[in-house]
A and B are shown apart, each in its own frame.
Chain A
Amino acid sequence: MLKISKYVIYDILRSKVLIAYTLFLFAVSFALFSLETDGAKSMVSLLSIVLIIVPLISVVFTTTYFYNAYEFIELLVAQPLSRNTILLGEFFGVAISMTAAFLIGIGIPVLIYSPNATGGVLLLSGVVLTLSFISIAFFASVAMRDKAKGIGMSLLLWFYFAVIYDAIVLGILFSFSDYPLDKAVIALASLNPIDMARIMVLMKLDISALMGFTGAVYKHFFGSSFGLLYTIAVMLVWIILPLIVSVRIFKKKNL
């Protein structure tokens, strides 16, 4: 499996898209840190990059990579390798390269300007988001045979989690505001990896004014250490679940 990942990483490094992504993250985070004197403020701006741009690039890059590597996958399937090994090898190859790009691009500036717990949580949530959106993109690419449909589905899923979902949650909160919603709201947040990542970082930032309607309710629950464990567990599910589904589909896929 790791052998396949090795060749995937070679191939990704040769395409230079990933290097451009690393440089982009690096430039943006350096700019944000040098423009603001208040570290917490730059952290909040950086957070929106991590929550919106990182998942977007992760899905687009993964889906395009998968369809471009179709020939390679076809070649591997006729070899004495199990389908699980092939798909997981591909996944880890993409995951390792994307995580490395993120950690270099955002990790280094954060370590220089804001080497504290908040910075650590931001990096952790960025890594977890990268991994879960790669996993979601794998699901879309394996499920769709057609390249355009696959990329379309990936983008739609990203748009749903990044934009539409919050609108739905907000709608629910407004229409049922006469009822106690604490538990329902926690459940709703768990259904979106971006929300989970946002909560994780905002808890550390301690700026309740910026947390908005969705955030305010969580303080009590997610502020506790149990809350943190819960967050991490849910985020892991968001990495593993789409991956398991992709492996299942890939096993029955005709190449």
Chain B
Amino acid sequence: MIRTENLEKHFGKLHVLKGVNTSFSGGEVVSVIGPNGSGKTTLIKSILGMVVADKGKIYFDNKDVANDFSYRHHIGYMPQIGRYPENMKMGQLFSMMKDLRKSSSTLDEELMNEFQLKTMFDKPMRTLSGGTTQKVSAALAFLFNPKVLILDEPTAGLDPLASEILKAKILKAKSEGKLVIVTSHIMSEVEEMADKIMYLFEGNIYFYKTITELKTETGEEKLGKAIAKIMTQQAHA
């Protein structure tokens, strides 16, 4: 569904992505992990077109997305820190997004209802807590029923109940054949949701494997330990 070829990005002298070749297909949850500053967010933002890569190509359904924007109809994005117009009320934000996206697909208001956002529709965005803002971001990402969901640290800042709701929603989206790309630092969560793990390290893909592959290769039961083992093996090699 999404394919990148030789993606390179510099921020000044910093070489953030060093030729990333990868592909993602529908019906799976891919977890992108890696240390801080390894290029996770940059990779995601390049796919979204928020960051323009220096070199390389990105294909969405085998179409080059350079100078194209219509492919974003099929993507729902939940940023790491959602930032919204401060003076706008929550209800206005939702109606504005509906107005701007002109989506023909049926709206998916499930998350909006489960998070009970409608009761807070007349609150200005600047008065919301971090967690509530995250709920808004999540509800917006799923609202237009896109076939690809890109979630940047979705459960950070959410209360346990809300993260359970979100995780259930992610698994449901997967069962509907959608592609979900998630970045996370919480290994137990990755283990719960992900089918595949992409480990980014200093702008390169260190490995990109399914969870079962990882566990059998290392002989570990716990995902966190399996990853730690691979990292130490490669460090010694």
Contact segment of A44-52, A67-75, A103-111, A211-219? A67-75
What is the CA–CA distance of A83 and B50 in the complex, to the nearest angstrom?
Answer: 10
A28 an interface residue at 8 Å Cβ cutoff? no
Distance (whole angstroms) from the CB of B107 to the closest CB of chain A: 15
Out of A4, A14, A71, A82, which one reaches B83, CB within 8 Å? Answer: A71
**A75 close to B83 (CB less than 8 A):** yes
What is the CA–CA distance of A148 and B195 in the complex, to the nearest angstrom?
Answer: 45
Distance (whole angstroms) from the CB of B142 to the closest CB of chain A: 14
B99 an interface residue at 8 Å Cβ cutoff? yes
List which B79-96 residues lie within 8 A (CB) of chain A: 79, 83-88, 96
What is the CA–CA distance of A65 and B86 in the complex, to the nearest angstrom?
Answer: 13
Instruction: Provide the residues of chain B in CB contact with A70, threshold 8 Å.
Output: 83
**A11 close to B83 (CB less than 8 A):** no
Contact segment of A30-38, A53-61, A90-98, A247-255? A247-255
**B85 close to A15 (CB less than 8 A):** no
Instruction: Provide the residues of chain A in CB contact with B45, threshold 8 Å.
Output: 254-255
Most chain B C-beta atoms within 10 Å of own C-beta, residue among A3, A15, A77, A253: A77
- Chain A: CB-nearest residue to B103: A80
Distance (whole angstroms) from the CB of A159 to the closest CB of chain B: 29
- Chain B: CB-nearest residue to A254: B51
Instruction: Provide the residues of chain B in CB contact with A14, threshold 8 Å.
Output: 87
Interface of A is mostly: helix
Instruction: Provide the residues of chain B in CB contact with A74, threshold 8 Å.
Output: 50, 79, 83
B72 an interface residue at 8 Å Cβ cutoff? yes
A221 an interface residue at 8 Å Cβ cutoff? no
What is the CA–CA distance of A251 and B77 in the complex, to the nearest angstrom?
Answer: 20
B101 an interface residue at 8 Å Cβ cutoff? yes
A233 an interface residue at 8 Å Cβ cutoff? no
Cβ contacts B93-115/A at 8 Å (1 or 0 each): 00011011100000000000000
Distance (whole angstroms) from the CB of A88 to the closest CB of chain B: 14
List which A211-255 residues lie within 8 A (CB) of chain B: 251-255
What is the CA–CA distance of A230 and B123 in the complex, to the nearest angstrom?
Answer: 52
Out of A7, A72, A79, A82, which one reaches B101, CB within 8 Å? Answer: A79
Most chain A C-beta atoms within 10 Å of own C-beta, residue among B86, B88, B100: B100
Interface residue range, chain A: 20 to 34
Instruction: Provide the residues of chain A in CB contact with B75, threshold 8 Å.
Output: 78
**A3 close to B99 (CB less than 8 A):** yes
**A80 close to B101 (CB less than 8 A):** yes
Instruction: Provide the residues of chain B in CB contact with A7, threshold 8 Å.
Output: 96
Out of A11, A69, A79, A255, which one reaches B100, CB within 8 Å? Answer: A79
B19 an interface residue at 8 Å Cβ cutoff? no
**B85 close to A80 (CB less than 8 A):** no
A76 an interface residue at 8 Å Cβ cutoff? yes
Most chain A C-beta atoms within 10 Å of own C-beta, residue among B77, B79, B85, B99: B85
Q: List 14 A-B contacts (CB under 8 A).
A: A3-B100, A4-B100, A11-B85, A14-B87, A15-B87, A71-B86, A72-B85, A74-B79, A78-B48, A79-B101, A80-B70, A251-B52, A254-B45, A254-B52
Q: Chain A residues in contact with chain B, CB under 8 A?
A: 3-4, 7, 11, 14-15, 69-72, 74-83, 251-255
Closest 9 CB pairs of A and B: A71-B83, A80-B72, A80-B73, A254-B51, A82-B69, A78-B77, A72-B85, A255-B50, A14-B87
